[in-house]
Copies of this chain bind each other. A is one copy, B any other.
Amino acid sequence: MLITRKVEFSASHICRSPQFSDEENTRIFGLAANPHGHGHNYVVEVSLVGDPDPVTGMVLDLKELKEILTREIVEPYDHRFLNYEVPPFDRVIPTTENIARDIWQRLDPRLTGERHKLHSVRVWETPDLYVDYFGEPLCSA
């Protein structure tokens, strides 16, 4: 069984790399390469897999889940410029893919319990684009 909770944050980002020229950055990242940055209302869906407790009927304490998501995601990310204020985005490009992985890494150690563990992180950058990350090791890492 999966249980999923949504949270939201508003943030700015720039998608460009110092390894590339201006032309290359624009070719690769398009408008998102604008060095001034731009922003989004990000929506995050965090899914846990678990087995409900036979007495309470709950996979985990939802009040505690909400506190963890607020402390680990909303507080560090909300109303921030990711490249300047939220590591590792001082050195990692804050694409939606990398944001999903960073959120996984922040949550995974906090969301492993007796009856449940983190299953996936979905990050919506806009209502038309989202990424799902399942914590898989990356070939390229």
Contact = CB atoms under 8 A, between A and B. Distances in A.
A88 to B, nearest CB: 11
B37 A12 contact: yes
Contacts of A13: 39
Contacts of A32: 79
Contacts of A38: 10-12, 39, 78-81
B34 A93 contact: no
**Interface size class of chain A, counting residues whose CB lies under 8 Å from the partner chain:** 35 or more
A92 B57 CA distance: 8
Closest 4 CB pairs of A and B: A39-B39, A31-B79, A36-B81, A57-B95
23 contacts: A1-B97, A3-B96, A3-B132, A4-B131, A5-B128, A5-B129, A6-B127, A6-B128, A10-B39, A12-B36, A12-B37, A17-B55, A34-B79, A34-B81, A37-B37, A38-B80, A39-B41, A41-B41, A52-B97, A52-B140, A53-B140, A56-B95, A62-B129
